[in-house]
């Protein structure tokens, strides 16, 4: 594993901001001071700072310094950035029991309609999986996953019922490097209503996602339909 220096510095500074060593609206020590204390080059330090800026932890100001803009107990974007908490993470944090029920598992050939919806080439062989994921027995989301069959050999309904990602990373040594996402709100379908107990809501939050592996191949399209309660997507935008 290539433990990069900038990664260490990034984590160290992030921790110091979170624990209050550098607090909201304060300035970090200057780049020169930090390069001395970390014993690294200015480029390496600046890379770590740039990552903190991408996370909206700091904001560098030309000619002035690097100001901390992170504060505790923020309602907006306090959790993990660019994403909903993963199902497992959320379950763990809330001491809830996560379960996954596989409703469908089949191989399909990508037709024109599916191709334009998912971004897979027409004619691709895909594995379609529909799953309902619950916490403490309460259904929270319906996943519609399409995997490029050639990219996920050996995928079974049993694996789909636990963690596909653990299988991909552990067994196939595949990582998701890039994923494009689109968030919309849609009227709940009969299927949504039958799986999720929507209560007063007649809509679901939908995240569509195209994921690319380390070979630059799009191997997964997912459409996750969330119960509106507890759905929250946090992100940061910079110019």
Partner DNA sequence: GCCGATTTGTCCGTATGTATC
Partner DNA sequence: CGATACATACGGACAAATCGG
Please select the residue that binds DNA; options are 18, 21, 23, 32, rule is CB under 7 A.
32
| Residue 14 interface partner, choices its own copies, DNA, none, CB cut-off 5-8 Å depending on type | none
| Residue 102 interface partner, choices its own copies, DNA, none, CB cut-off 5-8 Å depending on type | none
Helix axes 42-54, 5-19, angle to 10 degrees: 50
The two most distant CA atoms of the chain are separated, in Å, by 62
For position 41 contacting DNA by CB under 7 A, the verdict is yes
**CA dist., res. 19 & res. 220, Å (int):** 38
| Residue 100 interface partner, choices DNA, its own copies, none, CB cut-off 5-8 Å depending on type | none
Question: What would the two tokens of residue 197 be?
Answer: 């107990």
Would you say 42 or 101 has its CB closer to its own copies? 42
Length of the chain measured in residues? 239
For position 61 contacting DNA by CB under 7 A, the verdict is yes
Tell whether the torsion through CA atoms of 40, 41, 47 and 50 is positive or negative.
positive
| Residue 163 interface partner, choices DNA, its own copies, none, CB cut-off 5-8 Å depending on type | none
**CA dist., res. 73 & res. 93, Å (int):** 16
For position 36 contacting DNA by CB under 7 A, the verdict is no
Judged by the rule CB under 7 A, the positions of this chain that interact with DNA are: 2, 4-6, 27-28, 30-32, 39-44, 46-47, 49, 60-66, 214
């Amino acid at each position: 594993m290539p433990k990069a220096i900038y990664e260490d510095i990034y984590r160290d500074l992030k921790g110091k901001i979170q624990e209050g060593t550098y607090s909201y609206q304060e300035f970090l020590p200057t780049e020169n001071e930090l390069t001395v204390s970390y014993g690294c080059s200015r480029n390496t330090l600046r890379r770590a700072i740039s990552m903190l800026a991408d996370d909206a932890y700091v904001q560098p100001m030309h000619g002035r310094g690097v100001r901390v803009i992170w504060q505790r107990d923020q309602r907006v974007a306090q959790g993990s950035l660019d994403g909903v908490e993963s199902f497992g993470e959320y379950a763990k944090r809330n001491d809830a029991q996560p379960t996954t029920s596989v409703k469908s598992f089949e191989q399909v050939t990508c037709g024109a309609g599916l191709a334009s919806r998912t971004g897979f080439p027409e004619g691709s062989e895909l594995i379609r999986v529909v799953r309902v994921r619950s916490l403490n027995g309460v259904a929270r989301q319906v996943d519609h996953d399409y995997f490029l069959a050639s990219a996920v050999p050996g995928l079974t309904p049993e694996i789909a019922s636990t963690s596909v990602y653990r299988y991909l990373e552990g067994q196939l040594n595949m990582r998701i490097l890039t994923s494009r996402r689109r968030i919309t709100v849609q009227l709940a379908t009969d299927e949504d209503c039958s799986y999720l107990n929507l209560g007063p809501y007649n809509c679901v939050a939908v995240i569509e996602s195209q994921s690319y592996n380390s070979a630059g191949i799009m191997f997964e399209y997912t459409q996750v339909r969330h119960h509106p309660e507890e759905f929250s997507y946090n992100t940061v935008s910079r110019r």
